[in-house]
Amino acid sequence: MELLNNLALGLDAAISPNTLLYCFIGVLLGTLIGVLPGIGALAAISLLLPLTFYIAPEAAIVMLAGVYYGSAYGGSTAAILLNLPGTPSSAVACLDGYPMGKQGRAGVALFITAIASFVGAMIGLTALVLFSPAIADLGLEFSPADYFALMLLGLVAASTISGGSALKGLAMVMLGLLLGMVGTDVNSGVPRYYFGYFQLLDGVSLVVLAMGLFGVAEVIASINNVPARTSKERHVTMRSMLPTRDDWKRSLTPMLRGAGIGGFFGALPGTGGAIASFISYATEKRMAKDPSRFGKGAIEGLAGPEASNNAAVQTAFVPSLTLGIPGDAVMALILGALIIHGITPGPMMMTQQPGLFWGLIVSFFIGNIMLLVLNIPLVGIWVKILSIPYRMLFPAIVIFICLGVYSANNSTFDILLVVVFGFAGYLLMVLKFEPAPVLLGYVLGPMMEENLRRALLISRGDMGVFLEKPISATFVAMTVMMLAWSLWTAVRGRQRGRPVDRGTPQSEQPDDTHPQPHDEAATVGKNGSVTGPRP
């Protein structure tokens, strides 16, 4: 069977000692970063990106991906113990995880979280293995017009769906598109937006942009703002982690349901783990016999979203690896890393570099098993690490940023450029603009321009080409619907906003009937300060 052959090929590539080592480093760092509030997966991957120039591309991608899915495990630890989500997608884990911790069941909560994460990841991975070849085949049929329409849909979806104001998200994407144009235009050879600096002729480096927007900006926002983290649960013993029979029974179906929800939403562009976990939480609450238990330590409210989050993280690789189109900023970063290493992600990757593709997939399986080990017996270490004060961490982060940026091009100019983007990123945070879509626009920009140019060349300048074929017509229709929806909510928000006396300008979200966990997460991610109860 072809699938088994492919997996065997992947296993071959993934169990080389070197790849295993980098896989381990990746998931270890991912867990660490997930545990620590004030450093997100984006910042962590941008920090590690320059290091990967010194290792083989396969190992590099395995490691960066490990950081990504590893952080999805670690994020909930801080949420359960301290009511601080380590990553935005684990904000939901605060809702029932923290109350469980207060009831003295932190161990059980941590254990179920690890199991749910593992189950979710495995189901997401299975979906990735089963659907990727078919989607890549489909991708081979895509014309430039189809690609352009799909990228447009991806950008619009990512900026309008993922939290905050849709208009602001769209503006951020366009800002990213402009940044992607800096440097020599591949087609005409004309240098654009380089303002006389020859260092900019090759464009703004991905490392500089990501480190500035996420690394430096996060550091500035977190200094003097991350509260001292002390937890009563200094010692989580193995014995205290064992769930009761009742816990198992309550968590199993939510886990499976959550994994299904996460797997579906993860593969769509724009909807990542945060949204998937929120939808799973809402679903579990609706299906529960006694919804009033939710928010007071219901284990279903922890298991479902956690599985959902991790499944979404795995299926997020589907569009990225098969079509070369990243669904969110982290994926854009990983794709950017692939491109730097000379690998073009997309439908051809699976046929031209099957070892790399399937090796990566098998490494996900191995990485998740490692994570299970890291998160259950070693949870005590993570609990201790939580109490490292931020003031001891950030000087090291500043140094890593400087060295990482420098090493990418051996350029001190790039270090100064990181200050510019750091300031821009911090300004965006202060003004409550989400910087993540900038990166997406930056990575997709050059590809979009190229595909638009080709599509129009083939059609002799006729814009109708985007509506003639069913594939691109579908994407265009979906894009238009999303734009219409977001414009409508923006205007409706204005009407409702007139008498508003609430302090937050972003409260004009479509439905405020549910508690919005990603709002909370966004606040934590943005300035590191948390309004929630301090332990």
Partner 1 sequence: MTMKSRDYQDLIGGGLLTAIGLFAAIYASQWNFGSMTRMGPGFFPTVVGILLALTGVLIAALALKRTGTMPSMQWRTMAYVFGGIILFSATLRSLGLVTAVFLTVILSSLADRETTWRLRLVLAVSITGFVVLVFRFGLNMVLPLWWGD
187-206: contacts with partner 1 (CB under 8 A): 187-188, 190, 192-193
Q: Contact with partner 1 (CB under 8 A): which of 62, 91, 361, 401?
A: 401
Residue closer to partner 1 by CB (options 329, 418) is: 418
The 3-class secondary structure across 75-111, one letter per residue, is HHHHHHHHCCCCCHHHHHHHHHHHHHHHCCCHHHHHH
489-508 residues in contact with partner 1 (CB under 8 A) are 490-491, 493-494, 497-498, 500-503, 505, 508
Among 54, 239, 290, 533, interactor with partner 1 by CB under 8 A: 54
Using CA atoms, how far apart are residues 259 and 308, in angstroms rounded to an integer?
4
Please give the span between the terminal C-alpha atoms of the chain, in angstroms, as a whole number: 55
Q: Hey, is 183 helix, strand or coil? A: strand
- Cα 507 to Cα 345: distance, rounded to the nearest angstrom: 38
CA dist., res. 349 & res. 495, Å (int)? 49
Residue 418 binds partner 1 (CB under 8 A): yes
Question: Cβ 399 to partner 1, closest distance in Å?
Answer: 6
Concatenated DSSP letters of 31-69: HHHHHSTT--HHHHHHHHGGGGGGS-HHHHHHHHHHHHH
Which tokens belong to 97?
A: 């995880």
For partner 1, the binding residue among 294, 382, 394, 442 (CB under 8 A) is 394
Does position 56 interact with partner 1 (CB under 8 A)? The reply is no
Which of 41, 151, 175, 323 binds partner 1 (CB under 8 A)? It is 175
DSSP secondary-structure letter at 49?
Answer: G
* 38 touching partner 1, by CB under 8 A: no
For the segment 460-489, give every residue that binds partner 1 (CB under 8 A): 460-463
Is-contact 246 283, C-beta < 8 A? no
- 3-state SS class at 192: strand
* # residues contacting partner 1 (CB under 8 A): 73
Least distance between partner 1 and beta carbon 403 (Å) = 6
* Cβ partners under 8 Å of residue 468, min gap 6: none
Smallest gap from Cβ 248 to partner 1, in A, equals 43
Nearest to partner 1 of 89, 165 (CB atom): 165
Minimum distance, C-beta of residue 169 to partner 1, in the bound complex (Å): 10
Which residues in the 214-273 window bind partner 1 by CB under 8 A?
216, 219-221, 223-224
For partner 1, which residue of 291, 377, 395, 510 counts as binding (CB under 8 A)?
395
Choices 75-83, 142-150, 262-270, 395-403; region in contact with partner 1 by CB under 8 A:
395-403
Per-residue tokens: 440: 């997406």
Separation of alpha carbons 465 and 461, rounded Å = 9
Residue 165 sits in the site that holds partner 1 (CB under 8 A): yes
- Shortest distance in whole angstroms from residue 179 CB to partner 1: 10
**Three-class SS state of 191:** strand
Give the C-alpha separation, 33 to 134, whole Å: 34
